[in-house]
Amino acid sequence: MTWNVWWQFGERWRERQIGIAATLAAHRPDIVGLQESWAGRESSQAEVLAAPLGLYSVFGGPSLPDPVEEPGHDGVDLGLAILSRWPIRHAWTHRMPSSRATAPVALVAAVEHPGGVLHVVCVCAEHHAHLAADHLAQTRELARLLDDLGGLGAALPVLLLGDLNAGPDTPELAALTGHDGIVDAWTQSGADGDGVTLSAALPIAPLGATKQLNRRIDYVLLRPSAGGPPPEVRHAAVVGEAVEGLHPSDHFAVVADLEL
């Protein structure tokens, strides 16, 4: 699963977290990548969500967008999280190309999957139209990162879980899906429909994000291991139904069932 969970934005973020936890409990994903995740002085969203499900977790940052300075948010970081059914051997951050004063990162985890080391990358790409050059540079850098991780001799593919802030037909996505070997789980699954993950129909939709709105901008991408076949994608779906009348995030999640 990949899901942009909208940090602590909005007055009802605590209620939204209940919905995020309920969605995870309903789907029981083995691997989760969270964008716009939070971490405070005492705990992180990753830890809070992982513990009841018996998952391992790691948090890293900084990431996008810049958090809003609001009362009660002092000392709360905005970043990325990876949750895993299996132990996380180690994790690190990979600096992304950016002209921002503080460059965002991708979070990388080496997961101890029963079939071997499973590298998972979680990222949130640039979203501002005036930083389009950064956006394209970042997806190109992600393709290079997946190549590097795929060449480490692991038997399993590399997973990229991310809010890439770009539709499937954009140059930013082509830098990844047009790269040798990298596949889009949604397309590979033969899923019906456009798989929109940022919908104007939601009451909390970011209506100013005209470049991304009503498009699929959240992805599960896979890069096969060196010399290995592409993994089978059995099913892919968009999830994120309202929980007790409240949508857990302004994004829908993407879930893909993979045969590794």
Single-letter amino acid code for the residue at 234: R
CB under 8 Å, gap of 24 or more: what pairs does 108-114 form?
Answer: 108/145, 108/149, 109/58, 109/82, 109/84, 111/31, 111/84, 111/86, 111/87, 112/86, 112/87, 112/88, 113/86, 113/156, 113/260, 114/86
What was the pLDDT predicted at 67? 63
Residue holding tokens 């939204």?
16
Distance CA 145, CA 197 (A): 25
DSSP H or E segment with residue 120: strand 116-124
Q: In this structure, are residues 20 and 30 in contact, taking their beta carbons and an 8 Å threshold?
A: no
The bridge status of strand 31-39 relative to strand 2-4 is parallel
What was the pLDDT predicted at 69? 61
Cβ-in-10-Å burial (0-12, 13-18, 19+) of 124 comes to buried
Q: In this structure, are residues 36 and 78 in contact, taking their beta carbons and an 8 Å threshold?
A: yes
The encoded tokens of residue 110 equal: 């080496």
The three-state secondary structure class of 187 is helix
Q: What pTM does this model have?
A: 0.96
Instruction: Give every CB contact of residue 183 below 8 A, 6+ residues apart in sequence.
Output: 177, 221, 222, 223, 224, 230, 233
What was the pLDDT predicted at 109? 98
The bridge status of strand 88-95 relative to strand 56-60 is unpaired
Q: In this structure, are residues 114 and 77 in contact, taking their beta carbons and an 8 Å threshold?
A: no
Instruction: Give every CB contact of residue 238 below 8 A, 6+ residues apart in sequence.
Output: 195, 196, 197, 216, 252, 253, 254, 255
Distance CA 85, CA 67 (A): 29
Q: pLDDT tens digits for the chain (260 residues)? A: 999 999 999 989 999 999 999 999 999 999 999 999 999 988 999 999 999 999 999 999 999 987 666 666 778 999 999 999 999 999 999 999 999 999 999 999 999 999 999 999 999 999 999 999 999 999 999 999 999 998 877 789 999 999 999 999 999 999 999 987 899 999 999 999 999 999 999 999 999 888 899 999 999 999 998 767 778 999 999 998 999 999 999 999 999 999 98
